[in-house]
Amino acid sequence: MASITQTDSSIRTDVAFQRCINPVCAATYDTDVMHASCPRCGSLLDVTYDWDRAHVPSKLSDFEAMWSQRTNPVRFSGVWRFHELLPFVPQDQIVTVGEGQTLLQQADGVSKFVGLNAGNLHLQYEGMNPSGSFKDNGMCAAVTHANMLGAKRAACASTGNTSASLALYCSATRLMKAVIFIGSGKISYGKLSQALDYGALTVQIAGDFDDAMLRVREVAEQLGIYLVNSVNPFRLEGQKTIMLRVLEALRWEVPDWIVVPGGNLGNSSSFGKAFMELKELGLIDRVPRLAIINASGADTLYELHERRGLRWNGGNVNMDPIREYMDHMDRHGIKADTLASAIEINRPVNLKKCLRALEFCDGVVRQVSDQEILDAKAQVGAGGFGCEPASAASVAGAKILRREGVIAPSDRVVCVLTGHELKDPTATVAYHSTDQELFNKTLGSRGVTKASYANKAISVPNELDDIIKAIQLYA
Ligand SMILES: *Cc1c(COP(=O)(O)O)cnc(C)c1O
Ligand SMILES: [Zn+2]
């Protein structure tokens, strides 16, 4: 199934509009434009709804009926079967490739590792999406909006998964051409191979992700290319449904904690918005706490929120600590540096929206080392579907919060596994390798010194007796 689209019908603007998140400005815009920031004050924009005119079900369980309409591609989609909660597009203009077929796995082995009671840890596995990461939840919404505007080109800067997702939507739907900006040397082969294979125009910048992000904004502006990075508020609408599927899998019970890795902070921002809206609509009676986990080599949010006390503060965010920290990074040439390449970002574009989410969800931020990430990743792999390094930051972070007593053993915790294991096998192979040189070369420079949960291959001579003996010894 490719796309369902009908470009000639007019855009409905009576229910949805865009609004600046800065309460002092609060400028509103129609949905027939895409702004990377508020033209009036430069803040981020939200997609906002006049809920009285939308057709929102009176209770969340009403969405279960949508499953019975699975032959309709819109209702088959794990994003669009919640269309009533992101009604910025008429149903006949929705673009879908079948995204959002995800699983909430109860993972008792990992639960024990984290320090939770059996049955209390759930892993929201987003690796089954068409391009193998949660990004497809947002991309189907962004490409839908781009198509509503008649865009013929869409662009993003990417550490890998956003570009893989955009490239897939463009090649599968043939609606527009993908232009992707990547930094040099950092992108994993799994992700790069997708963008190349799906035919995206791939522009490699001599610089890192933060450099590529600045450039793509300039280029998109100058050439009028539709920008799909997470500054795009329509993309974040799609990502809200990750939380809706979590609630669905928990029979509409709200968990105590949502734990998610933080990179550009689009995902955490969209989760916060989802819960703000569900609460406002009376569809949930309590809100889960949010834990956002940085890699210690890319810990801007941790630094600002936990060390420098930066808060949303009703929208009146104190810019001084942000400016000071950015200047500090500039002066010392500090660049993001972690094996978890999907969160190797020092200038998160959604910082303020994320502060709002943290405030609404009584959230906390923690940082985890690459060692902690890889150990957690090995446990996730041993306990189920596996994930890429950045995803395992959520599990490593939950373990720290458990140890601190912030999370109780009896709490019900959902860790979001953002990307598929096969996205980035380099670190995984090195972690489990018997080749010390490979281990040192790949991981040693990142401060990883041991592989406590390694599952090493055994070497045997090519002799039947030796092979049989070895198997009997180990299995
Ligand atoms: C993009 C990405 C992240 C970071 O998400 P943000 O919304 O940028 O914070 C984490 N993990 C994976 C696998 C990703 O692709
Ligand atoms: Zn504004």
Q: How far is CA 388 from CA 3, 145, 185, 191, 265, in A?
A: 29, 29, 18, 11, 18
Find the ligand nearest to 342 CA: 1
Of ligand 1's listed atoms, the one at least distance from the Cα of 266 is 7
Decide: 143 and 234 in contact? Cβ < 8 Å: no
Could you give phi then psi for residue 123, rounded to 5 degrees?
Answer: -110, 115
How far is 260 from 414, CA to CA, in rounded Å? Answer: 9
357 located within any domain:
yes
The whole-number pLDDT of residue 185 equals 72
What is the predicted pLDDT for the residue at 12?
43
Percent of residues in the chain assigned helix, strand, coil, to nearest 5: 45, 15, 40
pLDDT of 186: 73
Q: Is residue 415 one of the residues assigned to a domain?
A: yes
**Predicted pLDDT at 6:** 38
Pocket test for ligand 1, best of 123, 187, 232, 264 (most atoms within 8 A of CB): 264
* Residue spans of beta strands (DSSP E) within 171-268: 177-182, 201-204, 226-227, 257-261
| Domain membership flag for residue 396 | yes
Establish whether residue 131 lines the binding site of ligand 1, counting it when its CB lies within 6 angstroms of any ligand atom.
Answer: no
DSSP assignments along 138-186, one per residue: HHHHHHHHHHHTT-SEEEEEESSHHHHHHHHHHHHH-SSEEEEEE-SS-
* The predicted structure's pLDDT at residue 78: 97
Which ligand lies nearest the alpha carbon of 41? 2
Distance 355 CA to ligand 2 centre (A): 17
- Do residues 37 and 44 touch, judged by C-beta distance below 8 A? yes
- Whose atoms come closest to the Cα of 229: which ligand? 1
| Binding site membership of 388 for ligand 1 (Cβ less than 6 Å) | yes
The predicted structure's pLDDT at residue 71: 92
State whether the beta carbon of 265 lies less than 6 angstroms from ligand 1: yes
The domain that contains 110 carries what CATH number? Answer: 3.40.50.1100
| Structural domain boundaries, residue 122 | 103-130+235-427
Report yes or no: 434 and 333 within 8 Å, Cβ to Cβ.
Answer: no
Would residue 280 count as lying in a domain?
yes
Predicted TM-score (pTM) of the model is 0.95
pLDDT at 267 (0 to 100): 98
Classify strands 201-204 and 226-227 as parallel, antiparallel or unpaired.
Answer: unpaired
Q: In tens digits, what is the pLDDT along the chain, a chain of 475 residues?
A: 334 433 333 344 589 999 999 999 999 999 999 999 999 999 999 999 999 999 999 999 999 998 888 899 999 999 999 999 999 999 999 999 999 999 999 999 999 999 999 999 999 999 999 999 999 999 999 999 999 999 999 999 998 999 999 999 999 999 999 999 988 877 889 999 999 999 999 999 998 888 899 999 999 999 999 999 989 999 999 999 999 999 999 999 999 999 999 999 999 999 999 999 999 999 999 999 999 999 999 999 999 999 999 999 999 999 999 999 999 999 999 999 999 999 999 999 999 999 999 999 999 999 999 999 999 999 999 997 899 999 999 999 999 999 999 999 999 999 999 999 999 999 999 999 999 999 999 999 889 999 999 999 999 999 999 999 999 998 8
Residue closest via CA to ligand 1's atom 4 equals 263
Tell me the best of 99, 124, 134 to mutate to test the pocket of ligand 1, counting ligand atoms within 8 Å of each CB and taking the most: 134
Amino acid at 127: G
Q: Is the CB of 343 under 6 A from ligand 1?
A: yes
Residue located via tokens 């998140």: 21
Residue with CA at minimum distance from ligand 1 atom 13: 419
- Rounded to a whole number of angstroms, the CA Rg of the chain reads 22
* 384 domain-assigned: yes
Extract the tokens encoding 185: 């040397």
Nearest by Cα to 93 from 108, 109, 76, 73 = 73
How many beta carbons lie within 10 A of that of residue 456, not counting itself?
11
Residue 36 lies in a domain: no
Ligand 1 atom closest to the Cα of residue 423 is: 13
Instruction: Say what the pLDDT of residue 81 is.
Output: 96
Counting the structural domains of the chain, the total is: 1
Q: What is the pLDDT of residue 7?
A: 37
The per-residue b/e assignment along 18-52, b for 16 or more CB within 10 angstroms, e otherwise, is: bbbbbeeeeeebebeebbbebeeeebbbbbbbeee
Ligand 1 pocket check for 342: Cβ under 6 Å: yes
Rounded CA-CA distance 420/427 in Å is: 14
Return the closest-CA partner of residue 350 out of 435, 224, 264, 461: 264
